[in-house]
Structure 1
Amino acid sequence: MSDADLDDTPGAEDGDDAPGAGSARRPSVAVFRPADERIDAAAAHLESLGADPVPDPMLAVEPTGAVPSDAPFVVLTSKTGVELAAAAGWDPGDAVLATIGPATAAAARAAGWTVDVVPDEYTSAGLVAALADRVAGDRVEVARSDHGSDVLLDGLRAAGAEPTETVLYRLTRPPEAGESAELAAAGELDAAAFTSSLTVEHFLAAAAERGVRDAAIEGLDSAVVGAIGAPTAETAADRGLDVDVVPDDAEFEALAAAVVDAATE
Structure 2
Amino acid sequence: MPRVALFTTCLVDGLFPDVGRATVRLLERLGQPVGFPLEQTCCGQMHTNSGYFETDLVRRYVRVFAGYDAVVVPSASCTGSIRHQHAQIARAAGDERLAAQAEAVAGRTYELSEFLIDVLGVEDVGAYFPHRVAYHPTCHSLRIARVGDRPLRLLRNVRGIRLAELPNWDQCCGFGGTFAMKNPDVSAAMLADKMEEVIETGAEVLCAGDRSCLMHIGGGLERVRAGVRTLHLAEILASTESGHRASERAPRAEVLR
> Do they fold alike, i.e. is TM over 0.5?
no
TM-score (norm 1): 0.33
Which one scores higher on RCO, CA 8 angstroms, separation ≥ 6? 1
Please state which structure has a larger fraction of its residues in helix. 2
TM-score (norm 2): 0.34
